Amino acid sequence: MQIVVLLGAPGSGKGTLASMLSKLPGIAHLSTGDLLRNAVKAGTPAGLEAKEIMESGNLVPDTLIARLVEEYLVSHASLSTILLDGFPRNVAQADILAELLEKHEVDFGCALLLDVADEVVIRRISGRRVCSACGAGYNVDTLPPKKDGVCDACGSALCTRKDDMPETVQHRLSVYAEQTFPLVEYYRTRGLLQVVDGSGDDLDAKVKAAVEIIQ
């Protein structure tokens, strides 16, 4: 099994790219944001600890997220590739990941940076909507639902995630710049960084470029 770390600002399209890639055999997409949101919904101890921190746009403690990621890796050991989306989020987590991979004898494939300009990121996030019932994702500009404000899949109302509200978005972008962006250098200096241009709207081209890198 290999791990591919997806890097890119909030709204860079990592999640969309990963969900396309995970349709290929043997590839799974682990979004730590989704993992935490599910834990919050289910009211687990991890979810209770994470709820308020997430709503403020800050990062949950490294030990909490590392434990959830390790449980996932162990229970998905038969896969060929796991795309890590949202972890590591800072240099300390990158060191934790390296230790986890050594402990469980898992290969590090590469860190794949989806490179997108700041103004594109802000436009994309402000258009993002999510179904309040089934969690399906939409974007009013690039992936609109058939009927305004209504989920195609289950007919429930669409809403804006609390952490996609404009004031929280600015904060998340500065958390990214301060804590997560240094990972680009972290992996570049170790010869592990690959870059895909994420600015355009042609998803197929991005998927093709990513597949060539990770396979």
188 tagged catalytic: no
Element (H, E) at 175: helix 166-175
> Among residues 192, 210, 193, which one has the least CA distance to residue 202?
210
Q: Which is nearer to ligand AMP, 25 or 43 (CB)?
A: 43
**Residues near ligand AMP, by CB under 6 A:** 10, 32-33, 36, 53-54, 57-60, 65, 86-87, 89, 93, 163, 172
Q: Which is nearer to ligand AMP, 29 or 172 (CB)?
A: 172
Least separation in angstroms between residue 169's CB and ligand AMP is 10
Q: Which is nearer to ligand AMP, 60 or 82 (CB)?
A: 60
129 tagged catalytic: no
Q: What whole-number distance in Å separates Cα of residue 213 and Cα of residue 190?
A: 17
Place of tokens 């229970």: 75
Least separation in angstroms between residue 187's CB and ligand AMP is 15
Least separation in angstroms between residue 108's CB and ligand AMP is 16
Q: What whole-number distance in Å separates Cα of residue 13 and Cα of residue 101?
A: 26
Spatial CB neighbours of 111, under 8 Å, sequence gap ≥ 6: 4, 5, 6, 7, 183, 184, 187, 192, 193, 194
> Among the options 37, 124, 129, 172, which is catalytic?
172
Q: What whole-number distance in Å separates Cα of residue 175 and Cα of residue 119?
A: 16
Q: Which is nearer to ligand AMP, 92 or 205 (CB)?
A: 92
> Among the options 51, 123, 161, 188, which is catalytic?
161
Q: What is the DSSP annotation of 75-136?
A: HTTT-SEEEEES---SHHHHHHHHHHHHHTT-EEEEEEEEE--HHHHHHHHHTEEEETTT--
Least separation in angstroms between residue 89's CB and ligand AMP is 4
Helix/strand/coil percent split, the chain, to 5: 50, 20, 30
Q: Which is nearer to ligand AMP, 33 or 135 (CB)?
A: 33
> Measured at CB, which residue is nearest to ligand AMP?
33
Least separation in angstroms between residue 13's CB and ligand AMP is 12
> Among the options 89, 124, 129, 206, which is catalytic?
89
172 tagged catalytic: yes
| Residues annotated as part of the active site | 14, 89, 128, 161, 172
